[in-house]
Amino acid sequence: MSVDNPHPAPAAPRRSVALDSSEALRLLGSVSLGRIVFTRHALPTVRPVDHVLDAGDIVIRTHERTALTSHTLRADGPGVVVAYEADAIDPDTHLGWSVVVTRYAHPVTDPDELARYRSLLHPWVKQTMDCAVRIHPDLVTGIRLTEADRPADI
C-alpha cells in the first residue's frame, strides 16, 4: 500500500462553523488566489486565478483566448453562471477557512476599469492578461475549520 500524502490527518477532531456573508467576503478579500468554476462543453471546469475584491465584487484578469472570457463575451441575458472559491487551510493542522461565491460573471469592458485592474492584478502566469471578468456576489457561503474544543471566533 502506498501513501500519497506524507502529512497524515491530525488526530484531533475538527469543527466546521458557518460564516456569515460579510465575514466570508472579508476573508476572501484577504487572499489573492482562488479557483473559478464554470461550464465548458457541458462539464464543470476549474481554473486557479488571482483576484481582487473591489467594492464587493470579485474581479479576475484573463486573456481573450480563455474559455471563460469567450463564454462571458458571448453570453446573452444575465451572464455566465460561475462559482468562485478561495481558502486558507493549513496543510498540517487542517485549520482555516473556505469561502464559495456563486453568481453570474460579466466581462469588464470599460477601458478605464480595465487599466485599473491591470494595475491591481498582476498575473502569476507568463501571459498577456488583457481582459477582466467581474462577479457580483449573490450566494456567499463559508466555513471556518476550528479545533473541536475551541471557540469558533478565535
Q: For the chain, which residues make up each domain, given as ranges?
A: 21-147
Q: 21-147 architecture in CATH?
A: Roll (2.30)
Cell of 50: 488571482
Q: Is 45 in contact with 38 (CB distance < 8 Å)?
A: yes
Reported as type and span, the H/E element at residue 104 is: strand 96-107
Q: Is 85 in contact with 27 (CB distance < 8 Å)?
A: no
pLDDT digits (tens, 9 = 90+) for 22-43: 999 999 999 999 999 988 788 8
What is the rounded CA–CA span in Å between residue 90 and residue 92?
6
Residues of the chain with pLDDT under 70: 1-11, 63-78, 123-129, 150-154
What is the rounded CA–CA span in Å between residue 86 and residue 106?
19
- Predicted local distance difference test score (pLDDT) of residue 100: 97
- Predicted local distance difference test score (pLDDT) of residue 39: 81
Can you give the pTM of this predicted structure?
A: 0.81
- Predicted local distance difference test score (pLDDT) of residue 58: 95
